[in-house]
C-alpha cells in the first residue's frame, strides 16, 4: 500500500494536491522557524539576573572571611587555591581599573567581558548558559579594593541552554525535520478523504453503484461533510437508477398484455373480415387496446418527467378550493355511472403557490382512484383544511380498503393490490405514483391509511406559501 501511494505521488508530481499542500505547509513552517530563530538571536539574552543563590552567598561569605584572616595573601595565591574541585571559579574585579582576573579559563570568553562592562553593587546571581555567577563581595587584597565573584556550574541547565550549545546546523535541522513530519501528517489527513472520494467516484463511474466513501474518511469538518454528501448523492443516483430499471421492466411487462390482446383481436378481425358484426366487435377491441396503450405511454412519460428531472413548475397564486371543486365536478360525471356521490368539506378560500395543472392532475388521480374502488351507490368524500403553515387535503372512498402490508407500496409504479380487480376497473397502475411525484415536487407529502370502518383515505399535505 505504501509503495502504491509513493508511486502515485511520484507519478502525479507537483500536480498532486497532496504534494502541493505538503510543500506549502512545509515552506511556511520553515520560514516561520527561520524567522523566529533570527529574531530570537537578535534579542536573545546571554544572561539572566536572579536573586542571590543561598549556597553561593554562603560560599562567598566563607571565602571573604578567609581573606580577612589572611590579609597578606596575594591575588595570585588566592586564585591558585584549589577551588575548582568543588566546581567553583574565583573572579576578582579591581574596583579602580575594572581589571578582571580569574582562575578558570572557560570564564574568559563571555563572562569576564560581561562583568567588565557591568558594575554590580548589590549581592546577586547572574545565570549564564551552564554557569551561574554570584557576587560581588567587597574584599581587600594587596592594599587594593576588589569585587569578589564566585562561578558555579549549573546542575540542571534549561533546555534552551542545552540548545544554545548545539551546533548551528543541528539547531536548524531539528525544527526542519519536526516541521516536515507535522506538515506531512497534516497534508495527508487533509488529502485522505479527497483521495477516497476520487477512488469511489472512479468506481461509481465504472458502474459499481454500491461504491461509497468509507466511514474512516468522513470527518467532522467541511471535507467530511463533502464525503458524506458524496455518499448521499451516490445513494440517490443508485436509487434513481434502480427505479429506472424497475420502471423499464414494469413497462415492458405491462405492455405485453395489451399488445397480446391487440394481436389476438387483429387476428380475429382478419379471420372474420367477411362477417361485419364480428369484424366490428374485434376492431372495437383493437381500438380499446390502442387507447389503453396510449394512456399507459402517456402516464409513463409523465411519471418519467416527474422522477428523472427537476421539472420547472409554473407557480401561481391559486385558490386551491376552487381547483378542487373543478376536479370534483369533472369526476362526478364518472361517479354518476356507479351512482356514487362525491361530498366536499372545503375551506372557502385557500390561496397558495402551486402549479395548477400538475396539482389538478394529482388530485384528479386520487379522486378517480377512489371512484374506481368504491361500490355502487356509495360516497367519496373530499375535504380541505387550512392551518397556519400547511394545507391538508383528504380523499376517502367506501371500498374494501388495502391490506396494511400493502399501504407502503401503494404509490409504487404498476403496483396492484389485486391483479384481477385492476383488470376489471382498468387503469395503468401509475395514477398514485404520478400523484406522489407531483406532491413531492411541491415539497409536500402524500400517505394512505385504512379507515376504521370501510374504505381508504389518501392524505395530501402541502406547505402554505402565498405570493
340 and 456 in a single domain? The answer is yes
pLDDT of residue 423: 43
Least confident of 122-126, 396-400, 450-454: 450-454
Band of residue 381 on the pLDDT scale cut at 50, 70, 90: very high
> What is the residue range of 397's domain?
316-463
Q: How far apart are CA 370 and CA 458, in angstroms?
A: 9
Catalytic amino acids?
253
Whether the per-residue pLDDT at 393 is higher than 70: the answer is: yes
Under 8 Å between Cβ of 191 and 21 = yes
Domain-terminating residue out of 259, 275, 308? 308
| Residue 113 near residue 128 (C-beta atoms within 8 A) | no
Residues 52 and 138 in one domain: yes
Give the pLDDT score at 20: 61
For residue 215, is it within any domain? no
Do residues 366 and 405 both lie within one domain?
Answer: yes
Least confident range of 42-46, 128-132, 179-183, 229-233: 42-46
What is the predicted pLDDT for the residue at 82? 52
Q: Which residue, 148, 56, 48, 59, is CA-closest to 101? A: 148
The domain that holds 343 is classified in CATH as 3.30.565.10
251 and 266 inside one domain: yes
Mark whether 56 and 100 lie in a shared domain.
yes
Q: Is residue 31 included in any domain, yes or no? A: yes
- DSSP-based three-state secondary structure for 405: helix
Radius of gyration of the chain (CA): 48
Is residue 258 assigned to a domain? Answer: yes
pLDDT band per the 50, 70, 90 thresholds, residue 461: very high
- Which of the listed residues 269, 286, 308 is the one where a domain comes to its end? 308
| 63: CATH | 3.30.450.210
Question: Do 370 and 450 reside in the same domain of the chain?
Answer: yes
Q: CB count, 10 Å around CB of 222?
A: 8
Question: Is 209 inside a domain boundary?
Answer: no
More confident residue, 239 or 403: 403
Lowest mean pLDDT, pick from 234-248, 258-272, 386-400, 422-436: 422-436
Q: Which one of 77-81, 99-103, 421-425 scores highest in mean pLDDT?
A: 99-103
Least-confidence region, from 21-30, 39-48, 170-179: 39-48
**Domain membership flag for residue 145:** yes
Residue 87: inside a domain: yes
180, part of any domain:
yes
User: Strand 379-386 relative to strand 390-396: parallel, antiparallel, unpaired?
Assistant: antiparallel
Pairwise pLDDT comparison (6 vs 325), residue with the higher score: 325
Determine the pLDDT at residue 380: 92
Q: What is the pLDDT of residues 271-324, one digit of tens each?
A: 777 777 777 777 777 777 677 676 666 656 666 666 554 556 778 888 999 999
The enclosing H or E element of 396 equals strand 390-396
pLDDT of residue 394: 93
Compare 425 and 363 and report the one with higher pLDDT: 363
DSSP assignment, residue 53?
P
**What are the tens digits of pLDDT across the range 87-113?**
568 889 998 888 888 887 777 777 888
Do 177 and 37 fall within a single domain?
yes
Answer whether residue 259 is part of any domain: yes
Give me the residue label for grid cell 385492476.
422
pLDDT of residue 80: 78
**Overall average pLDDT of the 8-30 stretch:** 62
Contact 134, 56 (CB under 8 A): yes
**Is the pLDDT assigned to residue 198 strictly greater than 70?**
yes
Statement to judge: residues 130 and 259 lie in one domain: no
Q: What is the mean predicted confidence (pLDDT) over 321-347?
A: 89
- Whether 131 and 176 share a structural domain: no
Task: Provide the domain count of the chain.
Answer: 4
Of 421, 399, 17, 293, the C-alpha closest to 9 is 17
Q: Is 23 in the same domain as 10?
A: yes
Q: How confident is the model at residue 41 (pLDDT cuts 50, 70, 90)?
A: low
Same domain? For 322 and 385 the reply is: yes
What is the percent of the chain with per-residue pLDDT over 90, rounded to a whole number?
9
The CA-CA-CA angle for residues 227, 231, 235, to 5°, reads 170
pLDDT at 81 over 80: no
Task: Inform me whether the pLDDT recorded for 439 exceeds 50.
Answer: yes
Tell me what the mean pLDDT of segment 315-342 comes to: 88
With a cut of 70, say whether residue 161 has pLDDT above it: no
Q: Residue 257's Cα: distance from chain center in Å?
A: 49
User: In this structure, are 383 and 445 located in the same domain?
Assistant: yes
Amino acid at each position: 500500500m505504501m509503495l502504491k501511494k509513493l508511486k502515485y505521488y511520484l507519478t502525479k508530481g507537483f500536480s498532486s494536491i497532496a504534494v502541493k499542500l505538503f510543500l506549502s505547509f512545509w515552506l511556511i513552517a520553515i520560514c516561520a522557524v527561520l524567522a523566529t530563530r533570527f529574531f530570537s538571536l537578535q534579542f536573545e539574552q546571554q544572561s539572566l539576573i536572579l536573586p542571590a543563590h543561598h549556597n553561593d552567598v554562603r560560599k562567598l561569605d566563607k571565602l571573604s572571611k578567609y581573606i580577612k584572616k589572611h590579609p597578606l595573601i596575594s591575588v595570585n595565591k588566592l586564585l591558585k587555591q584549589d577551588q575548582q574541585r568543588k566546581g567553583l571559579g574565583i573572579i576578582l574585579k579591581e574596583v579602580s581599573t575594572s581589571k578582571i582576573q580569574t582562575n578558570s579559563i572557560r570564564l574568559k570568553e563571555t563572562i569576564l567581558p560581561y562583568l567588565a562592562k557591568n558594575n554590580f553593587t548589590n549581592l546577586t546571581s547572574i545565570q549564564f548558559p551552564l554557569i551561574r555567577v554570584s557576587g560581588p563581595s567587597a574584599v581587600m587584597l594587596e592594599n587594593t579594593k576588589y569585587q569578589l565573584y564566585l562561578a558555579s556550574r549549573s546542575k540542571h541547565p534549561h533546555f534552551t541552554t542545552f540548545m544554545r550549545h548545539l551546533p548551528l546546523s543541528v539547531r536548524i535541522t531539528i525544527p526542519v525535520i519536526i516541521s516536515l513530519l507535522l506538515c506531512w501528517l497534516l497534508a495527508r489527513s487533509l488529502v485522505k478523504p479527497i483521495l477516497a472520494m476520487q477512488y469511489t467516484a472512479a468506481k461509481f463511474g465504472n458502474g459499481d453503484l454500491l461504491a461509497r466513501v468509507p466511514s474512516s474518511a468522513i470527518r467532522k469538518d467541511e471535507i467530511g461533510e463533502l464525503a458524506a454528501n458524496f455518499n448521499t448523492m451516490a445513494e440517490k443516483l443508485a436509487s434513481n437508477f434502480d427505479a429506472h430499471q424497475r420502471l423499464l421492466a414494469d413497462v415492458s411487462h405491462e405492455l405485453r398484455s395489451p399488445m397480446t390482446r391487440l394481436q389476438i383481436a387483429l387476428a380475429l378481425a382478419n379471420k372474420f373480415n367477411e362477417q361485419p358484426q364480428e369484424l366490428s366487435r374485434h376492431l372495437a377491441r383493437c381500438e380499446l387496446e390502442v387507447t389503453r396503450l396510449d394512456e399507459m405511454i402517456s402516464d409513463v412519460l409523465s411519471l418519467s418527467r416527474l422522477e428523472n428531472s427537476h421539472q420547472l413548475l409554473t407557480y401561481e397564486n391559486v385558490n386551491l378550493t376552487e381547483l378542487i371543486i373543478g376536479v370534483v365536478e369533472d369526476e362526478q360525471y364518472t361517479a354518476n355511472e356507479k351512482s356514487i356521490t362525491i361530498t366536499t368539506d372545503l375551506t372557502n378560500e385557500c390561496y397558495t403557490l402551486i402549479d395548477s395543472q400538475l396539482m389538478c392532475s394529482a388530485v384528479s388521480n386520487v379522486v378517480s382512484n377512489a371512484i374506481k374502488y368504491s361500490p355502487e351507490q356509495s360516497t367519496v368524500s373530499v375535504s380541505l383544511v387550512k392551518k397556519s403553515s400547511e394545507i391538508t387535503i383528504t380523499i376517502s372512498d367506501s371500498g374494501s380498503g388495502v391490506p396494511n402490508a400493502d399501504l407502503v407500496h401503494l404509490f409504487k409504479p404498476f403496483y396492484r393490490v389485486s391483479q384481477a380487480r385492476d383488470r376489471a376497473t382498468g387503469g395503468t397502475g401509475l395514477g398514485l405514483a404520478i400523484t406522489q411525484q407531483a406532491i413531492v415536487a411541491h415539497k409536500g407529502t402524500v400517505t394512505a391509511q385504512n379507515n376504521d370502518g370501510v374504505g381508504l383515505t389518501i392524505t395530501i399535505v402541502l406547505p402554505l406559501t402565498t405570493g
